Amino acid sequence: MIFRFFLLLALSFSYFISAEQISIMSYNLNNLFDAQDDVGKDDKAYLPIALKNNDDHIMGCLQVNNSKWRNECLFLDWSEEVVQKKISNISDLLISMGESQPDIIAIQEIENLNVLRMLFSKIEALGYTDFALIEGEDYRGIDNAIISKYPIYGARNFKIRFSDSVEVTSSRPIFEVKLGLDNEIIRVYVVHFPAPYNSANSRIDALNNLYAIVNSHDDKWIALGDFNITSQEEKDLGIYSQLNNDWYVSHLDGCKKCKGTFFYSQDGTWSFLDAIVFPKNKKMSLETSYIFKNEINVDTKDGKPRNFGILTGKGISDHLPIVAEIKIN
């Protein structure tokens, strides 16, 4: 199901918003779930404790092999108050950006339209006018979404087609929205590629799918999100570097001194799991890109992402948001 909310009831290109430069942000919000049971999805960890005190729920949790996830399933009290606190933290981060607030926010790991509406309502006063999400097939129910200051004229999901030899446990589709600005359509693609525990070929397949999609039309486009390419995978295969031959890559062209968007505590390394890419031949150019962080989303002691904590009420995600300012020529 698709939901598109229009404050500007524009049906013709004459209502497009003019823009010579746009700012766009990608943020993996790390399990922004509502507090309701989403039928058909495995969201049993993200429910209020009152809904967990029954034999069916407990038996389901005991079948979870990972001890951390099993304990969350059994004991995490994901209440309405907790959801609202996490949303407030996201809103506070955007407010703290001041004039640097992005025109377009690409979101990964958001459960459904219900919680997207909750987030949109919280930040609508900042100038956001439209949002979109289409339910995908991820077994946990996490989806991609867009919140925008520009009108949305269409949205759809592209299911990723993997090679027969590639095994993937779960994958999110590539989410496309069409935005109206500068009297033309700009297509934005939000991605959340297979996690690093899947083979590198799964992410290469996903990139090949993206490549085919963006080459099927002549519109300007931007792709961003969680590509799940670790620093080790980049060192071994040079995936981002190869993309950089034809596409701008946010951390290679405009954020060269940035450490990364995700920190692996196991080996103490940073990775650019998250990135923003767009073509070099579409009359668009990268003005700058950066990782936005302050005391709201970063641990001030070590500079690592401050994940959301139910007990403390602090933090947002284990990822950091990456922002790009793009000139439209």
What is the rounded distance in angstroms from the CA atom of residue 147 to the CA atom of residue 324? Answer: 16
Cα distance between the two ends of the chain? 35
pLDDT at 14: 43
* Among 17, 51, 77, residue at a domain's last position: 77
Same domain, 154 and 55: no
Residue 159 and residue 66 in one domain? no
User: Mean pLDDT across the stretch 7-29?
Assistant: 68
Domain boundary among 77, 99, 129: 77
Give residue-wise pLDDT tens across range 34-45: 999 888 788 899
Residue 164 belongs to domain with CATH number: 3.60.10.10
CB burial string 83-107: b at 16+ within 10 A, e below: bebbbebbbebbeebeeebbbbbbb
47: domain range?
Answer: 37-77
Residue labelled with tokens 């790991």: 109
Q: Answer yes or no: do 67 and 168 share one domain.
A: no
For residues 185 and 75, give the distance between their C-alpha atoms in angstroms, rounded to a whole number: 47
Are 58 and 174 in a shared domain? no
Q: Tell me: the pLDDT tens digits for 165-221?
A: 998 877 899 999 999 987 889 999 999 999 999 999 999 999 999 999 999 999 999
State mean pLDDT over 281-302: 94
Same domain for 85 and 58, yes or no, is no
Q: Say if residue 173 is in the same domain as residue 132.
A: yes
CB 72 within 8 A of CB 56: no
Q: Are both 209 and 224 inside the same structural domain?
A: yes
Q: How many domains does the chain have?
A: 2
Q: With bands split at pLDDT 50, 70 and 90, how would you rate the model's confidence at 1?
A: very low
Q: State whether 6 and 147 are in the same domain.
A: yes
Tell me what the mean pLDDT of segment 242-247 comes to.
97
Q: Are both 184 and 311 inside the same structural domain?
A: yes
Last residue of a domain, one of 56, 77, 98: 77
Burial class (CB in 10 A: 0-12, 13-18, 19+), 177: buried
Nearest alpha carbon to residue 48 among 69, 85, 76: 76
Residues 72 and 85 in one domain: no
Distance of CA 161 to the CA centre of its chain: 20
Cβ contacts of residue 105 below 8 Å, gap of 6+? 24, 25, 27, 94, 128, 146, 147, 148
Q: Answer yes or no: do 217 and 279 share one domain.
A: yes
Proportion of the chain above pLDDT 70, given as a percent: 94
Question: How far is 175 from 143, CA to CA, in rounded Å?
Answer: 9
Please write the tens of the pLDDT for every residue from 317-328.
999 999 999 999
Residues 66, 52 share a domain: yes
> Is the pTM for the entire model greater than 0.85?
yes
Query: Is 192 exposed, middle or buried, given 0-12, 13-18 or 19+ CB atoms closer than 10 A?
Result: buried
The C-alpha atoms of residue 24 and residue 320 are separated, in whole angstroms, by: 14
